[in-house]
Chains A and B, each alone.
Chain A
Amino acid sequence: MRHDHLIGANQLSRADIEAVLDRAAEIDADPSAFADAHPDALLGLCFFEPSTRTRMSFDTAIKRLGGDSVDMGTVESSSVKKGESLADTVRVIAGYTDGIVLRHPSEGAATMAAEFVDVPVINAGDGAGQHPTQTLLDLYTIRENAGLDDLTVGVMGDLKYGRTVHSLAAALTTFDARMHFVSPESLRLPRNVRFDLHESGAVVKEHTDLDDVLGELDVLYVTRIQRERFPDENEYREVAGEYRIDADALDAARDDLTVMHPLPRVDEIASNVDETDHAHYFEQAHNGVPVRMALLDSML
């Protein structure tokens, strides 16, 4: 892969994706072989929103490559609190570091940041926009468990605001994948994602009921439906309850169904699913380190 920045999954070709996944597999097999790959690399972590997995896995990844990181810390403890613009913040941090990992609550933040700096910018989530590095580890997990050819994927939950969903949908268009999107009417895919899926010629169906499609799926990707997307608590509880799975619900699924979730989950996947062979979401989270090592290795 040769990109100056990673902003959205739609900029990645199948060859780009496979190159990262292949390298991640090499790293996974022998991490020590990459321990000195980037001894002078310093990565800037700029998280304007809370993060556990993404921040810590990038931090771990750069250190496992022999490099190091500097962390902006929380918004409350930074100059952002004094009213500094994002453009100024990234320009300053670009002067200290060899690359910037950016998470921000506004859509388009990473696109704008990339216009102001000469070091690579990696989008670690921009509002309800994109989260392309999550997609790379999602695809790695799918490839390990179900393969990426002749694939049927169901994506369920908050499809409107879910940035991991938007990036995954874009990336799957480069593979031989049939996509089923399951959500309440009010949380259907946004217009721009549907537009891109249509333009790509992808095989896509939308549903409001998981039962319509569960038995066909190789992969079920579940996302959290957030309370704040609904006008009142009752409506939220009613809708969220319909898009929740437990071990009994998965009786109707194929034995080799892979269940994934970008985490954190609340109760959309019951804990009794954890004990089944379907559960791959913790493995998915673990894959964040080798996949982000592979990505950094290709960009720094």
Chain B
Amino acid sequence: MTDKQLRVSKIENGTVIDHVPGGQALNVLAIVGIDGSGGEQVSVGMNVPSDRLGRKDVVKIEDRELSPEEVDVLSLIAPRATINIVREYEVSEKLRVSRPERVVGVLSCPNANCITTEEEPVESSFEVLSDGVRCGYCDTIVRDEIADLIDND
């Protein structure tokens, strides 16, 4: 499958997330909170050949337009992703991800002794560093394997 073929299979309305690092598509869906239970139509291409990335994933979500805030959170695992908002089969907006200062409610703290891992009415909050994230509660810094922290609940 090539980039050209992927562009041919258009969606009517929704969001196309392209240039996701190979193997991260399901994490992208987890970040935007899609697990299939909401009935969304989702197409996923995984490990598709890409000139820019070698292998890339592509995610197409029907009838859902990602907000700029949601797009920015994707920067944690897909810093080179491109996002097209599609309306009536045409690309109406092109978005690029930029690193947010903070991500809230998206990642789980890996520190089992962090207050956010207990039964408390609090959302996780991470400061985004240039090369990782830092828990806003317990200060734990994570540089690698950020995708492992994605909260799938």
Tally of A interface residues using CB under 8 Å: 19
Are B122's CB and A115's CB within 8 A?
A: yes
The reply on A211 being an interface residue by CB < 8 A is no
Which A residues are CB-close (under 8 A) to B121? 85, 87
Residues on A close to B: CB < 8 A? 85-87, 104-109, 111-112, 115, 126-129, 191-192, 195
Are B138's CB and A191's CB within 8 A?
A: no
Which B residues are CB-close (under 8 A) to A112? 115-116, 120, 122, 137
Query: Among B115, B116, B121, which residue has the most Cβ atoms of chain A within 10 A?
Result: B115
Are A107's CB and B134's CB within 8 A?
A: no
Are A129's CB and B120's CB within 8 A?
A: no
Residue of B nearest to A85 (CB): B120
Residue of A nearest to B135 (CB): A108
Looking at the complex, which one of A85, A87, A111, A128 makes contact with B113 (CB distance below 8 Å)? A128
Are B114's CB and A108's CB within 8 A?
A: yes
The reply on B140 being an interface residue by CB < 8 A is yes
Are A107's CB and B120's CB within 8 A?
A: no
Residue of A nearest to B111 (CB): A107
B22 to chain A, nearest CB (A): 28
B window 124-153: CB within 8 A of A: 134-141
Which B residues are CB-close (under 8 A) to A87? 120-122
> Are A192 and B140 also in contact (CB < 8 A) when A105-B113, A108-B135, A127-B113 are?
yes
The reply on B118 being an interface residue by CB < 8 A is yes
A143 to chain B, nearest CB (A): 27
Are B139's CB and A129's CB within 8 A?
A: yes
Are A107's CB and B139's CB within 8 A?
A: yes
B128 to chain A, nearest CB (A): 14
B127 to chain A, nearest CB (A): 11
Which A residues are CB-close (under 8 A) to B140? 107, 191-192
Question: For chain A, what secondary structure do more than half of its interface residues adopt (helix, strand, loop), or is it mixed?
Answer: mixed
The reply on B93 being an interface residue by CB < 8 A is no
Are A195's CB and B141's CB within 8 A?
A: yes
Question: For chain B, what secondary structure do more than half of its interface residues adopt (helix, strand, loop), or is it mixed?
Answer: loop
Are A108's CB and B141's CB within 8 A?
A: no
Which B residues are CB-close (under 8 A) to A126? 115
Known contacts A85-B119, A106-B118, then 13 further A-B pairs from the complex at CB < 8 Å, ordered by chain A residue: A85-B120, A87-B121, A105-B113, A106-B114, A106-B138, A108-B135, A108-B136, A112-B115, A127-B138, A129-B138, A129-B139, A192-B139, A192-B141
Expressed in whole angstroms, the Cα–Cα distance for A222 and B5 within the complex equals: 66
Residue of B nearest to A193 (CB): B139
Are B134's CB and A192's CB within 8 A?
A: yes
Query: Among A106, A127, A129, A195, which residue has the most Cβ atoms of chain B within 10 A?
Result: A106
Q: Can you show 5 pairs from A to B with CB atoms below 8 A apart?
A: A87-B121, A107-B114, A127-B138, A128-B113, A192-B139
Which A residues are CB-close (under 8 A) to B137? 107-108, 111-112
Which B residues are CB-close (under 8 A) to A127? 113, 138
Q: Mark B27-40, 1 if CB is under 8 A from A, else 0.
A: 00000000000000
Which B residues are CB-close (under 8 A) to A115? 122
B99 to chain A, nearest CB (A): 17
Expressed in whole angstroms, the Cα–Cα distance for A152 and B116 within the complex equals: 37
Which B residues are CB-close (under 8 A) to A86? 115, 118, 120
Are B116's CB and A108's CB within 8 A?
A: yes
Are B115's CB and A108's CB within 8 A?
A: yes
Are B122's CB and A107's CB within 8 A?
A: no
Expressed in whole angstroms, the Cα–Cα distance for A231 and B113 within the complex equals: 18
Which B residues are CB-close (under 8 A) to A107? 111, 113-115, 137-140
Which A residues are CB-close (under 8 A) to B134? 192
A192 to chain B, nearest CB (A): 4
Which A residues are CB-close (under 8 A) to B122? 87, 112, 115
B124 to chain A, nearest CB (A): 10
Looking at the complex, which one of B111, B115, B118, B141 makes contact with A111 (CB distance below 8 Å)? B115
B119 to chain A, nearest CB (A): 6
Expressed in whole angstroms, the Cα–Cα distance for A86 and B118 within the complex equals: 10
B61 to chain A, nearest CB (A): 33
